Structure 1
Amino acid sequence: MKSILVGLCLIFVGISAASAQTSLDQQIIELSKDKWQWMAEKDVKKLDRLFHEKSVFVHMGGAWGKAAEIDVIRNGNIWYKKADIHEVSVNIIENTAVLLNKITLLAVVGGNEVSNNFMVTEVYEKRGEVWELLALSFTKLL
């Protein structure tokens, strides 16, 4: 009887841990979805709070930091009109979350509307109670 109770306790602890992980994964997924929406809306105030001061952004045409990415969005040099998310996965390691999005991105670049399939890597770090974006990298898919 005692071993049955211990077994049930272990199962409950395992389920609780898995549930907490799923909840945390979902929090990061929702934050990423919000980020895509803020980029589409060119909401640089929200993005400024999300992007870490030393964050990096890797695009097909180059790589740059937070200030340049905010300017690119504010000025419309790249307008992230719509990100259709096809697949998403999250891997959380202590206070760091690595999110992979397989997306089709509809954007306006240099005045031309383009659509590309990308695998996007997003790296977040939890600082206190807030998640900040450290890196966002686009890899074009064929």
Structure 2
Amino acid sequence: MKKSILGILILILIADISFAQNSAAEQEIITLSKNKWQWMSDKNVEALTKLFDEKSVFVHMGGSWGKDREIDIIKSGGIHYKKADIHEVSVKIIDNTAILLNRITLLAVIGSNEVTNPFIVTEVYIKKDGAWKMGSLSFTRLMTP
């Protein structure tokens, strides 16, 4: 009986430790995503260059491209991500991959036009050498605000 209770307590402790680790990793991704939105708003291409993996892909309403073009677009102001109002966030971690979904309202300047759109944004992060790198950023425009 004592061994059974001890075994159950050990299982509960292991489950709590595992949950805490996942929760900390999820919070790390949420914080990284929030920082990324700020860096995009600030046109901080140095921080973004470090964050984006060399093989990363970006999907927008106007097309898809890789890291270099995304950095160039941000740097030149072709797209200025002025402000992302984040309404909902969820994170799923699968091994060394994190998938974050944001429901946002994005205020952006594209060319000389200021636009506001509601999006679900999918962000995929991969843990490499102990650090999270962005592998994909994809915008899906919502039909309702």
Listed one character per residue, the Cα deviations across residues 45-79 of structure 1 (whole Å, up to 9, x for unaligned) are 00000011111100001111111100110010110
Q: Which structure 2 residue ranges, 5 or more long, are not aligned?
A: none
What residue in structure 1 maps to residue 90 of structure 2? Answer: 89
2:139 match: secondary structure:
strand
Q: Deviation of residue 2 (structure 1)? A: 2.0
* Counterpart in the other structure of 1:35: 36
Q: Any idea what the Cα deviations from partners look like across 1:63-121, whole Å, max 9, x if unmatched?
A: 11111100110010110011111111111111111111111101111111111000001
Structure 1 segments unaligned to the other structure (5+ residues): none
Match of 2:132 in 1: 131
Partner of 1:122: 123
Q: Aligned runs of 1:44-123 on 2, under 5 Å?
A: 44-123=45-124
SS of 1:13's partner is helix
TM, length-normalised to structure 2: 0.96
The alignment yields a C-alpha RMSD, in angstroms, of: 0.7
Q: How many residue pairs were aligned?
A: 142
Identity percentage over the alignment? 60
Tell me which amino acid in the other structure corresponds to 1:30.
Answer: T
The whole-number CA distance in structure 2 between the counterparts of 1:12 and 1:84 is 38
| Helix, strand or coil at the partner of 1:37 | helix
Mapped partners of 1:75, 1:3: distance in 2: 65
Partner of 1:4: 5
